[in-house]
Amino acid sequence: MERSLTILSKLNKHLVANYEPQLIADHGSGAWLWDVDGNKYFDFLGSYAVLNIGHCHPRIIAAIKKQLDKLGLVSRTTPTEALALFSEKLVHFCGFGETGKILPALGGHEAVEKAIKIARKWGYETKGIDEKKAEIISCIGSFHGRTYGALSLMTNQQYKYNFGPFLPGFIQIPFGDIGALEQAITKNTAAFIVEPIQGEGGVIVPPSRYLPLVSEICRENGVLFIADEIQTGFGRTGHNLSCERVKVQPDIFIVGKGFSGGVEPVSAVVGRAEIMDVIKKGDDGSTFAGNPLSCVAALEAMKILEEEELSDNAYDLGLILKQGLRNISRRYIKEVRGRGLMIGVELVENVKTENLIRKFMAEGILLGASHNVLRFNPPLNIGREDIYWALPKIKKVLES
């Protein structure tokens, strides 16, 4: 642990402590991560559903190296073919075909901010909401980032404590509650933004009819339906996008995380052209968004997802993993839930997840947790042998 402790001391001295390090990472390959002292871990954390195709996928690395020999960054006033190809591919991926447009971003929170801007501007200029009265509805327990617009959508008091005041015009309702949505909509409602499955909120899965009813209610009331698929998208839940499972097409998707290929940051707002076109020249900008490195990484990642049938693999292995977790003693487990390879294990209240995380690491397993929920977000290209290797170790820790 000597190298880890040396590096950790430097981090503690010079880095703001907004995260608590679990280990000092050195290199990764596929579903495996090594620390600087040579210890090896199976990465169920997956950088919170970013590493859908694993660490350092050779095709992603090759695509970026090839692009680096040509061009790394240019202004959006001098766009590249890579951006054109990425835009075309992404609108089709999201089901908009020739009628879609994208607004590229980097981190997921930036895409959320852009979606808020689009929704408000659309509300004023298309729906006719009175100036400065536009409202956006979101859900209690949601997570959309930590910038001010994103925090204004959320109710988590830890993330908001001593950072106020927040932006006006945001209303929160219970997740999965159709009646609450109907009651919250007014003539000033521009949009409803929702995660198909709440991730940071504890892997909360809504009733199957929830999203179809959301779509119907929003359409009837002239409200934009915005699906935040930053975590649930890119095959994570057993479908390319989680909304596909219930055959729902939102007005706008927010995507990110897994689309990066685990190397370059990529996110975007994707929607119908007549909505997206409210953004005019000078209304929005981002220095690095849509850069050619990000675009070629995302293009290759989408090809890998399709060619290796990773959504189907996530669906199949998710069933195996969930059943294996449900077979573990229920003394400390309250519920196992999720879809595909987005799985949460809710523990009874007196179990401390931080203690368990350390025990899992001692068994060579890296996990994340939200509140009292262990979160399993492994790469989607793992095999059954990986699940069967991990389950006895998980059982050992949870039954210890």
Q: What is the DSSP letter of 71?
A: -
Whether residue 163 lies in the annotated active site: no
Nearest in space to 68 (alpha carbons), one of 271, 292, 287: 292
CA distance 370 to 277: 37
**Residue 222, phi then psi, degrees to nearest 5:** 65, 40
Q: Please give the Cα distance from 341 to 146 (Å, whole number).
A: 25
Torsion of Cα atoms, 268 then 270 then 274 then 280, to 10°: 0
Q: What is the DSSP letter of 392?
A: H
- Would residue 283 show up in a list of annotated catalytic residues for this protein? no
Asked if residue 368 lies in contact with residue 45, where contact means CB atoms within 8 angstroms, the answer is yes
Structure tokens at 6: 């040396």
Q: Of these residues, 44, 86, 143, 175, which one is catalytic? A: 143
Catalytic residue of the set 44, 257, 259, 386: 257
Catalytic annotation present for 376? no
Separation between Cα atoms, residue 162 and residue 229, nearest integer Å: 28
- 202's torsion region: left (phi>0), alpha (psi -120 to 50) or beta? left
Catalytic residue among 35, 86, 114, 228: 228
Angle at alpha carbon of residue 174, lines to 267 and 145, rounded to 5°: 25
Catalytic (active-site) positions: 143, 228, 257
